[in-house]
């Protein structure tokens, strides 16, 4: 297109000669053919000249503020967000006296931020709890460095519910789809009331002891003492070398039944050494990050009629876990110690 500024000068020339806007449009078309200003633009410039403004420069129009002003607004929004990351765009706009659309653009384009929901974690950890997590992980790493066989001597375990129906996770229920196929739908589902609790202990070589809690029985300190007695017998039968050496170690979490006085006295009297475990740290418990999720993966989304069927399929799922998976679990445990230390005790990504 011909220079628009040149055509504006021509429009001004016609205006000063007393030509009408319609006549000017015709003359421009004759002079510039297809590269002519539009009719509405010509009428607009006639109105502009009639108002007394004879400039042919572009008229100022609203738009993105100057770079300096925009940078100043970014700083204001960043300061407000740093004070409270839950503030909405409405709140930020009112607080900084910046328009809603500008605040939204600053957040997404200037600060490259997006609003996300809070991630659920076992607990909001205090400074002392984070420090304790780091210290425990460092102590465990030190044990491995001093004794390469340390992890092979650990028997770890915990309790978990097994359900007659446990809904599929969002990931496991996902499907491949083409751009034109409809998105799959899934109704909200809840776990079945048919359930039983499994207690399971394992080491680097596989399952050492497993049992189901009798219906109506609470896992209290008295019941857990009986479990530990049966665990010792299982270690004697299945891990005879560790039993003879008397150097096996027990790892469990800090549930009340596990830390009761009578339980601690039993452990001491039987020379059972406990591997330390920081409170509120499921991400550092092999049962929680490996065994139970791995076991339940093949059970989710399936319907079992009664407790006996739940038990039968749970045992099948347990028995399907290969020896190398247990070895990999203990390797991952060490990597989780490093992650915990590197995040200064915070729950880390992938927990």
Query: What are 264-321's pLDDT values in tens digits?
Result: 999 999 999 999 999 999 999 999 999 999 999 888 878 898 999 999 999 999 999 9
For residues 243 and 241, what is the distance between their CA atoms, to the nearest angstrom? Answer: 5
Check if the beta carbon of residue 36 is closer than 8 Å to that of residue 56. no
Point out which residues pair with 165 in neighbouring strands.
303
Rg of the chain over all Cα atoms, to the nearest angstrom: 36
* pLDDT value at residue 192: 61
pLDDT band for 196, please (50, 70, 90 cuts).
very high
Where would I find the H helices in 99-126? 100-105
pTM comes to: 0.62
Q: How many CB atoms lie within 10 A of CB 197?
A: 16
Residue whose C-alpha is closest to residue 301's, from 160, 165, 151 = 165
* Beta strands, E only, 151-194: 154-163
For residues 311 and 234, what is the distance between their CA atoms, to the nearest angstrom? Answer: 20
Q: Is the pLDDT of residue 208 over 80?
A: yes
Query: What are 103-158's pLDDT values in tens digits?
Result: 888 888 888 887 765 555 566 788 899 999 999 999 999 999 999 999 999 999 99
Helix (H) or strand (E) holding 236: helix 221-238
Question: Which DSSP category does 65 fall into?
Answer: P
For residues 213 and 9, what is the distance between their CA atoms, to the nearest angstrom? Answer: 93
Mean pLDDT of 77-85: 86
Q: How far is CA 142 from CA 42, 137, 184, 337, in A?
A: 83, 9, 50, 11
For residues 324 and 342, what is the distance between their CA atoms, to the nearest angstrom? Answer: 27
Point out which residues pair with 158 in neighbouring strands.
200
Residue whose C-alpha is closest to residue 201's, from 231, 245, 225, 246 = 231
Beta-carbon contacts of residue 213 (< 8 Å; ≥ 6 apart): 159, 196, 197, 198, 199, 219, 223
């Amino acid at each position: 297109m011909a220079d628009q500024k040149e055509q504006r000068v021509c429009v001004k020339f016609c205006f000063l000669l007393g030509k009408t806007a319609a006549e000017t449009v015709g003359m421009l078309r004759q002079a510039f053919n297809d590269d002519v200003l539009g009719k509405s633009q010509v009428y607009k410039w006639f109105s502009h000249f009639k108002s007394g403004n004879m400039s042919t420069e572009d008229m100022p129009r609203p738009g993105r503020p100057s770079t300096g002003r925009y940078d100043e607004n970014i700083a204001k929004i960043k300061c407000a967000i740093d004070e409270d990351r839950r503030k909405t765009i409405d709140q930020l706009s009112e607080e900084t006296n910046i328009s809603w659309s500008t605040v939204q653009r600053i957040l997404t384009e200037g600060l490259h931020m997006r609003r996300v929901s809070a991630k659920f974690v076992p607990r909001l950890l205090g400074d002392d709890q984070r420090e304790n997590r780091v210290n425990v992980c460092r102590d465990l790493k030190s044990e491995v460095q001093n004794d390469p066989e340390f992890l092979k001597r650990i028997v770890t375990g915990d309790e978990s519910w097994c359900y007659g129906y446990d809904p599929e996770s969002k990931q496991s229920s996902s499907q491949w789809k083409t751009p034109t196929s409809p998105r799959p739908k899934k109704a909200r589902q809840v776990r079945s009331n048919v359930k039983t609790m499994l207690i399971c202990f394992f080491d680097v070589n596989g399952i050492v002891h497993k049992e189901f809690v009798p219906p109506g029985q609470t896992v209290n300190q008295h019941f857990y003492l009986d479990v530990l007695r049966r665990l010792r017998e299982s270690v004697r039968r299945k891990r005879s070398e560790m039993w003879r050496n008397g150097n096996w170690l027990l790892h469990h979490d800090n549930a009340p039944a596990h830390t009761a006085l009578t339980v601690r006295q039993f452990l001491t009297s039987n020379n059972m050494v406990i591997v330390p475990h920081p409170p509120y740290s499921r991400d550092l418990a092999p049962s929680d990050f490996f065994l139970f999720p791995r076991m339940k993966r093949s059970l989710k989304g399936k319907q079992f009629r009664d407790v006996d069927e739940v038990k039968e399929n749970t045992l099948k799922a347990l028995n399907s876990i290969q020896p190398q998976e247990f070895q990999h679990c203990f390797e991952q445990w060490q990597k989780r110690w490093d992650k915990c230390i590197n995040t200064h005790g915070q729950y880390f990504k992938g927990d």
